[in-house]
Amino acid sequence: MKKKEWCTVISQEEIGKDIYSMWLQTEEIGKEAKAGQFISLYTGEGSKLLPRPISLCEIDNAQGRLRIVYRVTGSATGTKIFSQMKAGDKIEVLGPLGNGFPLEEAKGKRVFLMGGGIGIPPMVETGKQIQQDVTVIAGYRDELFLTEELEKTGRLYVATEDGSAGTKGNVMDAIRENNLEADVIFACGPTPMLRAIKAYAQEKNIPCWISMEEKMACGIGACLACVCKSKDVDSHSHVHNKRICKDGPVFLASEVEL
pLDDT in tens, 78-125: 999 999 999 999 999 999 999 999 999 999 999 999 999 999 999 999
pLDDT band at 44 (very low <50, low <70, confident <90, very high): confident
Q: What pLDDT score was predicted for residue 244?
A: 61
- Structural domains of the chain, ranges and CATH numbers in brackets: 3-97 (2.40.30.10), 103-213 (3.40.50.80)
Instruction: Write down the pTM of the prediction.
Output: 0.90
CA atoms of 93 and 112, how far apart (whole Å): 31
Q: Tell whether the model's pLDDT for residue 161 goes beyond 60.
A: yes
Share of residues in the chain with pLDDT > 90 (%)? 77
Phi (first) and psi of residue 197, to 5 degrees: -65, -40
Q: Tell whether the model's pLDDT for residue 241 goes beyond 70.
A: no
Contact 7, 90 (CB under 8 A): yes
3-state DSSP assignment of residue 90: strand
Tens digit of each residue's pLDDT (9 = 90 or more) over 173-215 = 999 999 999 999 999 999 999 999 999 999 999 999 999 865 5
Which segments of the chain are extended strands (E)? 3-16, 19-25, 38-41, 52-55, 58-60, 65-71, 90-97, 111-116, 134-140, 154-160, 167-168, 184-189, 208-212, 227-229, 241-243, 250-252
The count of residues in the chain is: 258
